[in-house]
Structure 1
Amino acid sequence: MPVASARPIALTVAERHLLKKAAWGRKTENRARLRARIVILAARGRSHASIAVETGVHVDTVRTWRGRFAEGGLPALADRKRSGRPACFTPVQVAEAKALACQLPAETGVPLARWSCPEPAAELTARGVTDSISASTVRRWLRQDAIRPWQYRSWIFIRDPDFRAKAQRVLDLYACTYEGEPLGADEYVISSDEKTSIQARCRCHPSLAPGQARAMRVNHEYGRGGALAYLADDDVHQAKVFGRCEATTGIVPFMALVEQVMAQEPYAGAKRVFWIVDNGSSHRGKTSIDRLAARFPNALLVHTPVHASWLNQVEIFFSVVPRKVVTPNDFTDLDQVRDRLRRFEDRYNATAQPFQWKFTTSDLDDLLARLDGHTLTDRHQ
């Protein structure tokens, strides 16, 4: 019986490029890489036998993929649709599994804080929904609707009755406006806050600098050298930071920071200096407003809404400090911490630019509308 000759393969430039990318791509599936190599070798005029030896597969496999490409081109190298084995579970069972995953375990009487895939599988079996089911099957079902009951996020409802008014006042100041009037050239906006408990941890062995294919190494054991509070102000529009280190936070340290800023120009002679602060105990309530106004008549204290310190721009600077300055923490004493923070301020101020604040009053209205929608949904449930 005559043997069928090998199908000739001629590749276009585009086909050759895609096949090479598949054959030697780092993220290509093994089966796709194998098929691409077979076609590339066939295009070079190689026989079925030699291709089979080089790729480590049977001659029939080479003949199959060479023939498919000759008939259908690149699309023919993909797997054909198959009916697969009959479904073992009904759509109702799948729906019950997803419904269970969307319930808190406590609501079902299970003593767990959250589900992972083995627990819903065991619960479905215990309830008689299925005779048996694997955790991987449950995981595959949940993946279809992006249900991840093992993950969680924290959130908090707005409880400040004047949230919008307070938030808008802060956002207007960032936009150089106050009570509908533009700020003058002699009016300034200061964002202020405190960062507590910056520790001095003296490592038991010196930290090792990074090297080729080696990250910086920091010894796990350390001795405690105390902790301090770092208070900082950020001139929102001038991009200048003023900071000081104190043993703790409180009214006296905060007023010392205000004194440090207001005693120098241009703030001492300014028409108005707006101080944006959160509702921490160092500057909470009307008492703090009166205290600041009595000491500095041109200073106005502006509070962010309760639980909305994210509206305070100095928090962005405080997110930089741990990443750039004190982590990993390896200081012999608190004096070394103070010195590094002071020198970092100088370095930061030398090149700082105002933060590109993009959250506007329109974004605020959208946020409040979404939160109202969630609140109404929760009430109806």
Structure 2
Amino acid sequence: MTAVAQACPITLSEVGRRELTRRSVGQKTPYRDKIRATIVLLAAGGLPNAQISTRVGVGVDTVRAWRGRFAARGLEGLVDLPRSGRPSRFTPVQVAQVKALACQLPARVGVALSRWSCPELAREVVSRGVAETISASTVRRWLSGDAIKPWQFRSWLFPRDPNFEAVAARVLDLYERRWEGVKLGSREYVISSDEKTSIQARCRCHPSLAPGQARMMRVNHEYGRGGAVAYLAAYDVGRARVFGRCAPSTGIVPFMALVEQVMTQPLYASAKRVFWVVDNGSSHRGQAAINRLAVRFPNAVMVHTPVHASWLNQVEIFFSVVQRKVVSPNDFTDLAEVEQRLEAFEKRYNATARPFRWRYTRDDLRDLLVRIDHHEREDKVDIPLAA
């Protein structure tokens, strides 16, 4: 008589059973791992290989293989063994050359493009003789390894102020409650102020629909124009309190009205000094604006950010909050509703606001300027792209 091969007996611990059960029913478990876990669970239940094969829908040899590997090595036996795979078609030098090409502007290397895409890079690599053939997906995989995304771009402003570091450092010192190296006292305050221009009243041609189950808020694309208003705001950096007002447009008169609104309050009227951080907008530009403020309020000190550096003005953070929470998606019947919404939000904000966690310091500024200087001095070296 021919001896019948006995299936490997499977004994599961409680921990092993829970893990295999999790794999067999997991929504995100890879299909192959589900099959292997199910085979072992059925084998542990005493089913023969032939029945497991029928229930799982795989061959008997497959059942026998995974059953045996689990019996020999446990859960580690259900992991694929290392495979050599197909030899790489590309050398490390070719990979480096493709990445180097992606890190150059197309126009600088004679290609009539503004930005690279993976298909365009693949075409250029072949035309330069770096590789005989290469797919866009291969290029994308190589670039993603180093987070290189030449199809994206962002704009930036180069510092034009020759005293950029000194001017910006004064503002950063104020945020740390220092002025000219001396700590500010308890009766000294820092106000960040600016204008958010041209807030439009867009009356949608059809009413906006509120969100519902599995449905986002819907806003009609068409609208009628109801005019625009400027929102002026002064933000107390230390107390996280906002003082705002609306005006038909920006200018010296609306800005000084905002200053009057703030500086006539008892807290600031009796203060030793109130520092007003402003950008270089026409409403408060230059020495004339400094003198005008000092004459009207002797305890007020105007401090300008560098040119094109309004990102140093903390009130811009508040304006971004206003844009997200009040203005967008912009569905107002008229300007009066815009002004009412801004006034109501200002009260709501002041009720719970806390100071912004400003972490940008003099050291960060110095590092930025060093990097900019490095980019200026860096020689453009053309990397050879042909083998």
Shorter chain as denominator, the TM-score bin is: over 0.9
Among all aligned residue pairs of Structure 1 and Structure 2, give the percentage whose two residues are the same amino acid. 68
Equivalent residues, number: 381
Q: Say if 1:323 and 1:222 are closer, same or farther in 2 by CA, change over 3 A.
A: same
> Is residue 2:64 matched to residue 1:57?
no
CA distance in 2 between counterparts of 1:8 and 1:207 reads 66
Tell me the residue number matched to 1:191: 192
Tell me the residue number matched to 2:280: 279
CA distance in 2 between counterparts of 1:117 and 1:2 reads 61
CA deviations 1:175-201 (Å, max 9, x no partner) are 222122222232221110111121111
Tell me the residue number matched to 1:118: 119
Task: State how 1:253-264 maps to structure 2 within 5 Å.
Answer: 253-264=254-265
CA deviations 1:265-304 (Å, max 9, x no partner) are 2222322111001122221121211121122211110011
**SS in structure 1 at match of 2:134:** coil
CA deviations 1:87-113 (Å, max 9, x no partner) are 333444333322222221112222111
CA distance in 1 between counterparts of 2:151 and 2:356 reads 36
**SS in structure 2 at match of 1:190:** strand
Task: State how 1:42-81 maps to structure 2 within 5 Å.
Answer: 42-81=43-82
Residue 151 of structure 2 aligns with an amino acid whose one-letter code is: W
> Is residue 2:141 matched to residue 1:140?
yes
CA distance in 1 between counterparts of 2:90 and 2:360 reads 48
Q: Say if 1:178 and 1:219 are closer, same or farther in 2 by CA, change over 3 A.
A: same
**SS in structure 2 at match of 1:98:** helix
Residue 315 of structure 2 aligns with an amino acid whose one-letter code is: V
> Is residue 2:378 matched to residue 1:377?
yes
Tell me the residue number matched to 2:235: 234
**SS in structure 2 at match of 1:198:** strand
Q: Say if 1:146 and 1:354 are closer, same or farther in 2 by CA, change over 3 A.
A: closer
CA distance in 1 between counterparts of 2:257 and 2:239 reads 21
* Alpha-carbon distance, 1:335 to partner: 0.4
Deviates more, 1:214-223 or 1:155-164: 155-164
CA distance in 1 between counterparts of 2:278 and 2:292 reads 14
Q: Say if 1:336 and 1:13 are closer, same or farther in 2 by CA, change over 3 A.
A: same
Tell me the residue number matched to 1:158: 159
**SS in structure 2 at match of 1:266:** helix
Tell me the residue number matched to 1:361: 362
* Alpha-carbon distance, 1:380 to partner: 8.1
Tell me the residue number matched to 1:16: 17
CA distance in 1 between counterparts of 2:278 and 2:3 reads 90
Higher relative contact order (CA 8 A, sep 6+): 2
Q: Say if 1:376 and 1:5 are closer, same or farther in 2 by CA, change over 3 A.
A: farther
CA distance in 1 between counterparts of 2:123 and 2:52 reads 49
Task: State how 1:241-260 maps to structure 2 within 5 Å.
Answer: 241-260=242-261
Tell me the residue number matched to 2:329: 328
**SS in structure 2 at match of 1:49:** helix
CA distance in 2 between counterparts of 1:128 and 1:369 reads 38
Query: TM-score, with normalisation over the residues of structure 2?
Result: 0.91
* Alpha-carbon distance, 1:379 to partner: 7.4
CA deviations 1:50-96 (Å, max 9, x no partner) are 32233222222222111112222222222222222233334443333
* Alpha-carbon distance, 1:148 to partner: 2.1
* Alpha-carbon distance, 1:242 to partner: 0.5
Tell me the residue number matched to 2:108: 107
Deviates more, 1:40-49 or 1:58-67: 40-49
* Alpha-carbon distance, 1:233 to partner: 0.5
**SS in structure 1 at match of 2:268:** coil
CA distance in 1 between counterparts of 2:91 and 2:182 reads 65
Tell me the residue number matched to 1:85: 86
* Alpha-carbon distance, 1:378 to partner: 5.3
Residue 344 of structure 2 aligns with an amino acid whose one-letter code is: R
CA distance in 1 between counterparts of 2:186 and 2:85 reads 74
Q: Say if 1:371 and 1:44 are closer, same or farther in 2 by CA, change over 3 A.
A: farther
Q: Say if 1:342 and 1:144 are closer, same or farther in 2 by CA, change over 3 A.
A: closer
**SS in structure 1 at match of 2:28:** coil
Query: TM-score, with normalisation over the residues of structure 1?
Result: 0.93
**SS in structure 2 at match of 1:22:** helix
Residue 123 of structure 2 aligns with an amino acid whose one-letter code is: A
* Alpha-carbon distance, 1:208 to partner: 1.3
Q: Say if 1:220 and 1:51 are closer, same or farther in 2 by CA, change over 3 A.
A: farther
Runs (5+) with no aligned partner, structure 2: 383-387
Tell me the residue number matched to 1:170: 171
Could you list the runs of 4 or more consecutive aligned residues of structure 1 that deviate by over 4 angstroms after TM superposition? 378-381
Deviates more, 1:191-200 or 1:50-59: 50-59
Residue 12 of structure 2 aligns with an amino acid whose one-letter code is: L
CA distance in 1 between counterparts of 2:42 and 2:321 reads 55
